[in-house]
């Protein structure tokens, strides 16, 4: 990596996850945020001052036209991810879109096709690939010390109204399948090192005003025989977040974001797995490194496309 070169980044969307990216980018010496794009004028200049960002706009095109922007990180509403990623690539900018890459397979394929045509770095924020807890398990798998046989995952939130992670009103509707299931569908195939060959889904009743299923159950099977059961809910009034249980031939492990425990609830130290315990920072480090090293990043849009093919097949099942 070119140690003295900086990747100049436009951060688009200064909501809950946009701030997480700004915090992570501050720890990356090869990254510099030169532009902030946000639709919230009340917070824009305060955030720009706090993170020493010289340019502020409410229009992505303003950032794409700047010579001091090499790359863009999109932390915008899900329905905008694909169209904005395409705009970035057409403008000659590297791009990382927060998960999900798109809310349709057609749009995801379009982004992958343009990335291949331009040769630019295009990445999606599949953060579980970077969390030290999941990295620790992947390293055991790579050394032949653990073979995954079953993954059981619970993804639970309490969102009976249209609010974001900060409890603020949201201008768009979140989705259990195209957003939250994407984390697990991708992680399961990634940890197995084997493609998903069978997928089933059941959904509960649609919410009367949000128009989405509030509860969902998904089953997956990888080509190597491993299986996954994923339960998702926006109705869960209890402990929130996602819990991953890895059941394998030589142990059981439970990952709660960046914390890892064995099957008897003894904590496993993952502090030395990577240079940080912050999965978002590690994700952004990979994005910056791939740009400087002119290589494909982990979680490139091409690598995660099979996830969206599975989501599409599940959506078609649910429609039927």
Q: How many CB atoms lie within 10 A of CB 319?
A: 6
Residues 137 and 59 in one domain: no
pLDDT per residue as tens digits for the range 242-299: 999 999 999 999 998 789 999 999 999 999 999 999 999 999 999 999 999 999 999 9
Both tokens of 125, joined, read: 């924020």
CB contact at 8 A, 180 and 83: no
CATH classification of the domain holding 286: 3.40.50.720
Mean pLDDT, the chain, as a whole number? Answer: 94
HSE value, Cβ hemisphere, 13 Å, CA-based, for 231: 9
Q: Is 281 helix (H, G, I), strand (E, B) or coil?
A: helix
Q: For the chain, how many structural domains are there in total?
A: 2
141: containing domain = 131-273
Looking at residue 173, its pLDDT comes to 65
Note the pLDDT tens digit of each residue in 173-183: 678 999 999 99
Strand-strand pairing, 71-74 and 7-12: parallel
DSSP character at residue 183 = H
169 and 162 Cβ atoms separated by less than 8 Å: yes
26 and 76 both lie in a single domain: yes
Q: Is residue 8 predicted with pLDDT exceeding 90?
A: yes
Tokens 């030589």 map to which residue?
250
Phi, then psi, of 165 in degrees rounded to 5: -65, -20
Whether 20 contacts 311, CB under 8 Å: no
Task: For residues 120 and 217, state if they share a domain.
Answer: no
For 128, which DSSP code? G
DSSP 8-class letter at 180: I
Q: What is the pTM of this model?
A: 0.94
């Amino acid at each position: 990596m070119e140690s003295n070169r900086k990747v100049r980044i436009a951060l688009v969307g200064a909501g809950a996850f946009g701030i997480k990216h700004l915090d992570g980018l501050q720890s990356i010496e090869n990254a510099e945020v030169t532009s902030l794009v946000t639709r919230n004028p009340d917070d824009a200049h305060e955030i720009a001052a706090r993170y020493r960002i010289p340019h502020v706009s409410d229009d992505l095109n303003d950032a794409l036209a700047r010579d001091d922007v090499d790359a863009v990180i999109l932390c915008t509403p899900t329905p905008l991810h694909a169209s904005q990623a395409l705009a970035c690539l057409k403008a000659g900018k590297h791009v990382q879109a927060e998960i999900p890459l798109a809310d349709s397979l057609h749009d995801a394929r379009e982004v992958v096709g343009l990335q291949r045509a331009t040769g630019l770095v295009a990445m999606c924020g599949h953060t579980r690939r970077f969390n030290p807890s999941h990295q620790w398990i992947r390293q055991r798998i790579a050394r032949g010390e653990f073979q995954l046989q079953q993954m059981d995952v619970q993804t639970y939130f309490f969102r009976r109204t249209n609010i974001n992670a900060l409890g603020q009103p949201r201008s768009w509707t979140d989705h259990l399948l195209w957003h939250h299931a994407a984390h697990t569908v991708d992680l399961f195939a990634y940890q197995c090192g084997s493609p998903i060959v069978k997928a089933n889904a059941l959904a509960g009743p649609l919410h009367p005003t949000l128009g989405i299923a509030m509860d969902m159950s998904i089953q997956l099977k990888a080509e190597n025989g491993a299986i996954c059961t994923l339960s998702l809910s926006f109705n869960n009034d209890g402990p929130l977040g996602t819990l991953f249980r890895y059941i394998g031939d030589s142990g059981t492990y439970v990952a709660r974001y960046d914390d890892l425990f064995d099957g008897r609830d003894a904590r496993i130290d993952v502090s030395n797995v990577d240079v940080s315990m912050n999965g978002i920072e590690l994700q952004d480090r990979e994005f910056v490194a791939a740009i400087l090293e002119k290589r494909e990043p982990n979680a490139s849009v091409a690598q995660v496309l099979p996830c969206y093919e599975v989501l599409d097949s599940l959506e078609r099942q649910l429609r039927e």
